[in-house]
C-alpha cells in the first residue's frame, strides 16, 4: 500500500475522531442545558397547583386527535381512557381511517353515536369524509368516518373537525397519564410564542397495565426493550430538554404532541407523502413562523408522560428505525433552505445543521470510521493505540453520556421505584453501547439507502399489546 | 502514534466519570428508599397530630410540640397537604399551626431571598397556608413571573378589595402566565370583589378594559351592565366584542338593542360575540335578526348563528328549517348541522332527519 493511501486513511480517521469529539461536545452542551432546564422545571413544578387548571373556566380547550385503523379489539378501551383524562375542556376526535374491521360499529355501540351533518372545514388536505358522528352519552366525543388515507390523512381529517384551541396528536397505542394534559398545556399558558409542545415518551414493556393505565412501572427484562429505555431517556431527558434552551426543538414525538390548532391548520396540517409526518410538521411550523414572524417556540416538557410499547424483536425494531431515519431524511431534505440560513436564526444556524450533521449523517460517519479503522488496522496504516482511542471516544463517551442521563433521571423524576429496576437500568445503560448501538447504525444506514431509492413503505409493526403485558410475577401466576 | 499516557488519561477520565455517576445514582436511590420507609409511619403520626391540633383546642400545644419532633420536611408536607384541602375557619387553624411550627416565618424569610426559586417557594408556602398578608403584596412587582403568579393566585384567594386594582393590572403583565393566572384569580374571587371590579371596569379604557371585560363576561353580574352598555360603541373591536359578551351574560331588556346593532359590525369577532350574546339573552324576538347571519362570510359567525337559532326554541328551529333550502350552500349546511346538533340534545324536538 502506497504512502499516499496510508496518509489519506490516517487523515480520514483523525477527521472521524474529530467528528466524534465535536458531537460529544455538543452532547455535553445539551446535557448542561438539560440539567439547567430540569432544575428550573422542578422548582416551578414544586410551586404549581395543577388541580387549579381542572377547575378553571379559562383552561384552553384541547381536542385529542386519535386516528384508528383496524383497531376494533382495543378502540373502545383507548377512547374511554382518552375521555377519562383529567382535563376540563376536552374534546376527543376519533377518526376511523377506512378500517376493514368492526372499528366503527364498536364505537357506535359503545358510545351511542348518532350521525350528524358533516360540517368539515377543508383546512388540511384529507380523503373524503363518509360521515361524522356525535355521541349522545359523551358530548365531547366526535367520530369521523372516512376513506382510508393513512395516519397523516386521518390526522388532517381530525384537524378539520376539531374545535379546540389546541390539538393533541395521539397514537391509538399510546397511553397518556391522566394528568399529562394539565402539564402539557403549561407552555401555552406560560408563553405567547409557543406553537407546539411535546412530552416525554416512556416505555411500558414489562410494566403492568390495567384499564388503560400503567399501574406498576418496571424496567424491561428483555435486552432489546431495556436498551430502548436507555435510548428514550437519553433522547427525551437530555436531547429534547436540552434543545429548549439551545435554539428549540425540531422534533415532537408523533405519539404525543400538543399543537396550536390554528397555526397547524394554517400550515396545511400533516404532509401525506412522507413517513416522518410528525417531524416534517414541526420543521414546517417553525419555518413558517420565522417567515411570517409568528410564534416560533417548540417546547418540550419532561414530565407529561405518554407510555408506549416498543418492539422487542430486532427485525421489527430495525424496520421502525429505518422508517424513522427515512422520515428524518425527508423532513430535512424538504426544508434544506433552512440550512445555515441566518433568516431562521438559531434554527437555521445551529439546530438544523446539528440535525443534518449529527442525527442524519452520524451513522454514515460512524460506519465509514469503523470500516476505515478496520482497513487501517489490516493494512497497518493505523496502530492499535489509535484504535483504542477511537473506541474510547466513539463508544466510551456514549457510556459516559448514558450514565449522566441516569443521574439526571435519578435526581429528577426517578420513575422506577424499585432498587432492582434501577440496577437493571444501569446494566442496560452500560451494555447499550456495545452491539446494540452498532445495529442502530446499520438500520439507519438502511433508512438512508431506502430514502435515496424513494421507498415510502411503513413496514409491518408487530406489538405484543398492552393488554398482554404483565410483570413476571403475573406471568408466573 | 498515540501516546499511552493520553490513552490512559482518557480511559481513566471515562471510567471515573461513569463510576461517579453510578455512585450518585446508587446513593440517591438508597437514600430515597430509606427515607420513604422511614417517612410512612412518620407521616401517619404527623397527620394524626395535626388533625388533633386543629379540631381540639385543648390539646393544641401538646400536638404542636409533638409535630415539632418530626423532620422539617414531614412537618411542611403534612401542613401543606391539609392546607390545600381545607378552607375557612379550618384553613385559618392550619395557618396558626404553620405559624406555631415556624413554617410561616421560614417562608417569609425565603420571600426576601435574592434567589428567585427561594422566593417562589416562600410565596407558594404562604399562599397555601397563609401568613403572608404583609409580605406577599410586595411581591406583585417581583422580577420573576413565577413568583408574581403565586402572589396573583393568593390575591384571588384572599379576596381583598384593596388588591382588586393590582389583580386587574396583572391582566397587562408582560408574562402570559401572570395574565392567565390573573384572569383565573379574578373569576375565582367571585362576589366579594364584584363592586371593586365594576369600578375598575368603568375607570379603565382601551385594551385594559377589553381584557377585563372579556374575563368578567364569564361570570357576569348586573353591576357590570352600565360599563358594558357604554363600551358597546367603543372604537376598539376587542372592547365591543367583550361588551357584547358581558351584555349577553348580564341580560335585561336594555341589552337586546345594543346587541342587535352589533350584528352588523364590521368585525367578525364582534358579530360572533353579539350573536352569542343574543343566544344567552334567550330573546326569541331576535331570531329573525339572527337568521341572515347564517350567510355570514365568517365560519365562526355562521356557527354561532346556527347554535343561537337552535337554542331559541320553535321560532329558531323553523327558521333553520327554512334555511335548509337556501341558495347559499354555506347557510344551508350550517342550518342542517345546527338542526342535527339540536336533535342530539333534545331528541324529537321538531327536527327533520335527512
pLDDT at B10 over 70: yes
- Determine the distance from the C-alpha atom of residue B131 to the mean position of all C-alpha atoms in its chain, rounded to a whole number: 23
Residue of B nearest to A392 (CA): B11
Is B334 a domain residue?
Answer: yes
Is B76 a domain residue?
Answer: yes
The b/e string for A268-285 (b: 16+ C-beta within 10 A; e otherwise) is ebbbbebbbbbbbbbbbb
Is B267 a domain residue?
Answer: no
Of B33, B124, B180, the CB nearest to A58: B180
> What is the total count of domains within chain B?
2
* Residue numbers in B near A406 (CB within 8 A): 21-22, 25
Res A397: pLDDT: 86
Question: Is A43 within 8 Å of B33 when comparing Cβ atoms?
Answer: no
Is B159 a domain residue?
Answer: no
Final residue before a domain boundary, out of B65, B84, B101 = B101
Is ipTM over 0.85?
A: yes
Res A459: pLDDT: 59
Question: Is A117 within 8 Å of B354 when comparing Cβ atoms?
Answer: yes
Give the three-class secondary structure for B221.
coil
* Residue numbers in A near B85 (CB within 8 A): none
* Residue numbers in A near B299 (CB within 8 A): 121
Rounded to whole angstroms, how far apart are CA atoms A103 and A74? 9
Of B2, B28, B176, the CB nearest to A385: B2
pLDDT tens string B221-269: 999 999 999 999 999 999 999 999 999 999 888 899 999 999 999 999 9
Rounded to whole angstroms, how far apart are CA atoms B171 and B349? 43
> Looking at A48-57, B95-104, B197-206, which range is the least confident one?
A48-57
Is B261 a domain residue?
Answer: no
pLDDT under 70: residue ranges of chain A:
1, 50-51, 54, 172, 456-477
Average pLDDT over every residue of B75-95: 91
Average pLDDT over every residue of B183-187: 95
The residues, any chain, with a CB within 8 Å of residue A123's CB and separated by 6 or more, are A159, A160, A265, A266, A268, A269
Rounded to whole angstroms, how far apart are CA atoms B280 and B265? 19
Final residue before a domain boundary, out of B101, B120, B136 = B101
Res A463: pLDDT: 55
Question: Is A47 within 8 Å of B120 when comparing Cβ atoms?
Answer: yes
Question: Is B11 within 8 Å of A396 when comparing Cβ atoms?
Answer: yes
Is B287 a domain residue?
Answer: yes
- Domain carrying residue B298: 282-354
pTM: 0.89
Q: How far is A464 from chain B (nearest CA, A)?
A: 31
Question: Is B18 within 8 Å of A136 when comparing Cβ atoms?
Answer: no
Q: All 3 cell numbers of residue A19?
A: 467528528
Is B265 a domain residue?
Answer: no
Question: Is B333 within 8 Å of A119 when comparing Cβ atoms?
Answer: yes
Q: How far is B37 from chain A (nearest CA, A)?
A: 12
Final residue before a domain boundary, out of B101, B117, B134 = B101
- Choose the mutation target among A35, A47, A165, A385 for the interface with B, i.e. most B CBs under 10 Å: A47
Rounded to whole angstroms, how far apart are CA atoms A227 and A414? 18
Instruction: Report the CATH number at residue B288.
Output: 1.25.10
Rounded to whole angstroms, how far apart are CA atoms B315 and A472? 65
Question: Is B11 within 8 Å of A119 when comparing Cβ atoms?
Answer: no
Is B293 a domain residue?
Answer: yes
Residue of A nearest to B123 (CA): A47
Res A462: pLDDT: 56
Amino acid at each position: 500500500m502506497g504512502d499516499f493511501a496510508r496518509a489519506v486513511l490516517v487523515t480520514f480517521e483523525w477527521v472521524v475522531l474529530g467528528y466524534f469529539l465535536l458531537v460529544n461536545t455538543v452532547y455535553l452542551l445539551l446535557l448542561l442545558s438539560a440539567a439547567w432546564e430540569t432544575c428550573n422545571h422542578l422548582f416551578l413544578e414544586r410551586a404549581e397547583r395543577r388541580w387549579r387548571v381542572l377547575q378553571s373556566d379559562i383552561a384552553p380547550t384541547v381536542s385529542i386527535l386519535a386516528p384508528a385503523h383496524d383497531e376494533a379489539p382495543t378502540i373502545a378501551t383507548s377512547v374511554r381512557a382518552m375521555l377519562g383524562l383529567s382535563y376540563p375542556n376536552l374534546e376527543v376526535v376519533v377518526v376511523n381511517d377506512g378500517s376493514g374491521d368492526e372499528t366503527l360499529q364498536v364505537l357506535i355501540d359503545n358510545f351511542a353515536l348518532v350521525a350528524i351533518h358533516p360540517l368539515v372545514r377543508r383546512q388540511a388536505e384529507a380523503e373524503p369524509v363518509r360521515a361524522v358522528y356525535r355521541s349522545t352519552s359523551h358530548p365531547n366525543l366526535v367520530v369521523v368516518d372516512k376513506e382510508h388515507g393513512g395516519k397523516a390523512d386521518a390526522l388532517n381529517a381530525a384537524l378539520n373537525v376539531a374545535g379546540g384551541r389546541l390539538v393533541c396528536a395521539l397514537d391509538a397505542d399510546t397511553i397518556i397519564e391522566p394528568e399529562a394534559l394539565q402539564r402539557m398545556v403549561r407552555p401555552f399558558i406560560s408563553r405567547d410564542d409557543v406553537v407546539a409542545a411535546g412530552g416525554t415518551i416512556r416505555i411500558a414493556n414489562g410494566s403492568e397495565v390495567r384499564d388503560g393505565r400503567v399501574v406498576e412501572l418496571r424496567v424491561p427484562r428483555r435486552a432489546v426493550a431495556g436498551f430502548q429505555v436507555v435510548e428514550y431517556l437519553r433522547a427525551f431527558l437530555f436531547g429534547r430538554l436540552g434543545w429548549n434552551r439551545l435554539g428549540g426543538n425540531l422534533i415532537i414525538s408523533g405519539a404525543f404532541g400538543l399543537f396550536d390548532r390554528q397555526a397547524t391548520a394554517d400550515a396545511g396540517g400533516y404532509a401525506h407523502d412522507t413517513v416522518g409526518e410528525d417531524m416534517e410538521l414541526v420543521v414546517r411550523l417553525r419555518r413558517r413562523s420565522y417567515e411570517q414572524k409568528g410564534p416560533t417556540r417548540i417546547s418540550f416538557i419532561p414530565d407529561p408522560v405518554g407510555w408506549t410499547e416498543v418492539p422487542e424483536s430486532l427485525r421489527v425494531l430495525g424496520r421502525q428505525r429505518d422508517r424513522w431515519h427515512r422520515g428524518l431524511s425527508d423532513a430535512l431534505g424538504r426544508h434544506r433552505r433552512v440550512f445555515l440560513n441566518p433568516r431562521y436564526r438559531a434554527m437555521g444556524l445551529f439546530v438544523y445543521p446539528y440535525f443534518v450533521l449529527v442525527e442524519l449523517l452520524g451513522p454514515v460517519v460512524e460506519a465509514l470510521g469503523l470500516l476505515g479503522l478496520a482497513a487501517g488496522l489490516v493494512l497497518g496504516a493505523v496502530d492499535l493505540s489509535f484504535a483504542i482511542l477511537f473506541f474510547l471516544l466513539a463508544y466510551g463517551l456514549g457510556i459516559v453520556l448514558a450514565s449522566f442521563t441516569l443521574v439526571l433521571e435519578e435526581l429528577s423524576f426517578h420513575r422506577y421505584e424499585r432498587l432492582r429496576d434501577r440496577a437493571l437500568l444501569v446494566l442496560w445503560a452500560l451494555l447499550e453501547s456495545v452491539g446494540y448501538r452498532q445495529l442502530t447504525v446499520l438500520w439507519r444506514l438502511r433508512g438512508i439507502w431506502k430514502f435515496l431509492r424513494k421507498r415510502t413503505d411503513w413496514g409491518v409493526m408487530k406489538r405484543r399489546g398492552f393488554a398482554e403485558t404483565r410483570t413476571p410475577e403475573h406471568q408466573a401466576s | 502514534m498515540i501516546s499511552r499516557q493520553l490513552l490512559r488519561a482518557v480511559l481513566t477520565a471515562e471510567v471515573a466519570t461513569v463510576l461517579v455517576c453510578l455512585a450518585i445514582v446508587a446513593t440517591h436511590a438508597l437514600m430515597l428508599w430509606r427515607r420513604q420507609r422511614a417517612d410512612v409511619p412518620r407521616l401517619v403520626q404527623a397527620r394524626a397530630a395535626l388533625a388533633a391540633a386543629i379540631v381540639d383546642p385543648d390539646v393544641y400545644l401538646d400536638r404542636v410540640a409533638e409535630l415539632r419532633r418530626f423532620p422539617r420536611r414531614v412537618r411542611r408536607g403534612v401542613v401543606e397537604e391539609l392546607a390545600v384541602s381545607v378552607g375557612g375557619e379550618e384553613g385559618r387553624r392550619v395557618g396558626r399551626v404553620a405559624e406555631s411550627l415556624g413554617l410561616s416565618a421560614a417562608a417569609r424569610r425565603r420571600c426576601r431571598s435574592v434567589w428567585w426559586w427561594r422566593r417562589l417557594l416562600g410565596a407558594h408556602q404562604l399562599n397555601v397556608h397563609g401568613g403572608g398578608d404583609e409580605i406577599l403584596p410586595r411581591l406583585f412587582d417581583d422580577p420573576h413571573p413565577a413568583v408574581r403568579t403565586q402572589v396573583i393566585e393568593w390575591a384571588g384567594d384572599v379576596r381583598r378589595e384593596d388588591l382588586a386594582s393590582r389583580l386587574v393590572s396583572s391582566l397587562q403583565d408582560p408574562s402570559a402566565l401572570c395574565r392567565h393566572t390573573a384572569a383565573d384569580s379574578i373569576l375565582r374571587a367571585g362576589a366579594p370583589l364584584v363592586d371593586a371590579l365594576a369600578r375598575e371596569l368603568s375607570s379603565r379604557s382601551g385594551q385594559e378594559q377589553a381584557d377585563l371585560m372579556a374575563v368578567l363576561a364569564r361570570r357576569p353580574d348586573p353591576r357590570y351592565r352600565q360599563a358594558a352598555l357604554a363600551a358597546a360603541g367603543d372604537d376598539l373591536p376587542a372592547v365591543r366584542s367583550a361588551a357584547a359578551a358581558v351584555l349577553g351574560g348580564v341580560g335585561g331588556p336594555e341589552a337586546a338593542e345594543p346587541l342587535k346593532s352589533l350584528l352588523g359590525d364590521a368585525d367578525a369577532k364582534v358579530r360572533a360575540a353579539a350573536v352569542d350574546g343574543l343566544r344567552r339573552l334567550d330573546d326569541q324576538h331576535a331570531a329573525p335578526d339572527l337568521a341572515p347571519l347564517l350567510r355570514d362570510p365568517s365560519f365562526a359567525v355562521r356557527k354561532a348563528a346556527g347554535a343561537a337559532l337552535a337554542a331559541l326554541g320553535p321560532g329558531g328551529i323553523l327558521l333553520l328549517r327554512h334555511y335548509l333550502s337556501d341558495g347559499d350552500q354555506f347557510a344551508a349546511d350550517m342550518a342542517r348541522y345546527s338542526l342535527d346538533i339540536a336533535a342530539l340534545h333534545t331528541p324529537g324536538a321538531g327536527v327533520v332527519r335527512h
